[in-house]
Amino acid sequence: MSKIPYSQVTPQHIYANRRKFIQNAALAGLGLAGSAIAAKLDNVAKSPLSLKDEKLTPVDAVTGYNNFYEFGTSKDAPARNATNFKTNPWKLVIEGEVAKPKTYDLDSIMKLAPLEERIYRMRCVEAWSMVIPWIGFSLSEVIKRAEPTAKAKFVAFESYYDPRQMPQARYGGLPFPYIEGLRLDEAMHPLTLLCSGLYGETLPPQNGAPLRIVVPWKYGFKNIKSIVKIKLQEKQPNTTWALANNNEYGFYSNVNPGVDHPRWSQAKERRIGEFFKRDTLMFNGYGDQVAKLYAGMDLKKNY
């Protein structure tokens, strides 16, 4: 695996200024709530760059081109409208089919496992993609401490919602709070990340501060932002986009070039910052790690 420093894969002026740029954006929204995360970021264990021949997406694109309907539906709206998003205090509840329900604040979450840096491909259902250096640890570290019962088959997630802080949400056309879900084995997979930062800094509000889920082999809307609740349950949970339009947004939503969205092809994608399209990879290129989760399943039917 290549160990390419950021200065060689990111435009130099962006690399040199990224800490100040993200820190200002993130801390403006996080306030004191980000202090526990910020304190640990100084000692992040950097994992090798495992994506050969791929450059990181410029930081200004990662933090300025977002889907976060609670802060507006255009791609640049969240960066403008989430600036003053307050996340102090913040609680994350783990409940449902568990032997030991938990309620964490940011300080206690940061004590669960060492933060590490993971560079992941991210693929959006609208056929654009990015390569992002996320910071966090495997979601399994949180779930296993709650001790799932034998009935736990699925994991439901819920995001934070406050119409006073998110007045643009009323124009989003979706029911809030935003909800998502995974099968338990998907949630426990080592690649599934509980994320608290990117590009060496705390998450900016528009990217899902202070905590979000990152599942790199699925389309972007599965990567729920600003989570406040994790519930283990026996039955498959509802999800926001499936409730809005189940014909277009299935529960699994694995990146699959052979399953088109009803309104566009998924066979090609355009990396943000590039002109030409590239072939979409099955499971977003993570098939060696995750294909076994779906052995025997019809992935066109279970889209």
Chunked mean pLDDT (size 10), the chain, 303 residues: 38 45 49 66 70 83 97 97 93 98 96 94 95 96 98 98 96 96 98 96 96 98 98 98 93 96 92 93 96 96 93
What's the pLDDT at 21?
47
Residue carrying structure tokens 């992935």 = 299
Number of domains in the chain: 1
What's the pLDDT at 38?
78
CB contact at 8 A, 277 and 267: no
At 247 the three-state DSSP class reads coil
Domain annotation covers residue 301? no
Confidence (pTM): 0.89
Domain annotation covers residue 299? no
Helical residues (DSSP H) of the chain, grouped into ranges: 6-9, 12-30, 35-41, 59-64, 77-81, 106-109, 140-145, 184-187, 240-244, 287-290
Domain annotation covers residue 303? no
Per DSSP (E only), the strands in 126-204 are: 128-138, 154-159, 179-183, 193-198, 201-202
Residues in the chain: 303
What's the pLDDT at 52?
63
Domain annotation covers residue 239? yes
CB contact at 8 A, 134 and 160: no
| Neighbouring residues of 93: CB distance < 8 A, sequence distance ≥ 6 | 101, 102, 103, 104, 228, 229, 230
Full residue range of the structural domain in which residue 98 is found: 6-294
CATH number of the domain at 198, please: 3.90.420.10
CB contact at 8 A, 165 and 83: no
Domain annotation covers residue 77? yes
Domain annotation covers residue 173? yes
What's the pLDDT at 40?
80
What's the pLDDT at 292?
98
Domain annotation covers residue 243? yes
Beta partners for residue 205, in sequence order: none
Domain annotation covers residue 33? yes
